[in-house]
Structure 1
Amino acid sequence: MSYYEARNCFNENLQLLRRPQDQDETMIWNLSSGLNHLIQALEADLGKIQALLGQIAQALQHRR
């Protein structure tokens, strides 16, 4: 499973969760929500890393 497939699967599962009714469900909801925010942050960082790698590749090609 690719990163993007895993992210989409996680988001679909998060949508299936109903709003919490008690303390345990609230903790589960908060954990799921926090993981979703983490995934979004990782995705943003991945985009930055890919852009930097592209710049490095271009610089290396110009050196040849």
Structure 2
Amino acid sequence: MDQYVYSNTNVLVNKLNIKDEKELIDVEAQLIIAGILDITSISSEINFQEYRSLQNIHHFLFS
């Protein structure tokens, strides 16, 4: 048994406890879109000359 997927599914264990693959894809897409729309809230922390800025964007969108 794979500890990283829910039993009898191919869905990775996730913070939202969603076990339906299609529902998880839809919810994750909505969360990413919301994050992209709100990215201006961290714009003062973004400097594309620094690697850390890319880490900040990734953390903002996927945490």
Shorter-chain TM range is 0.3 to 0.5
Work out which of the two has the higher radius of gyration on C-alpha atoms and give 1 or 2: 1
- Greater relative contact order (Cα < 8 A, sep 6+): 1
Q: TM-score, normalised by structure 2?
A: 0.37
Instruction: Specify which structure has the higher proportion of helix.
Output: 1
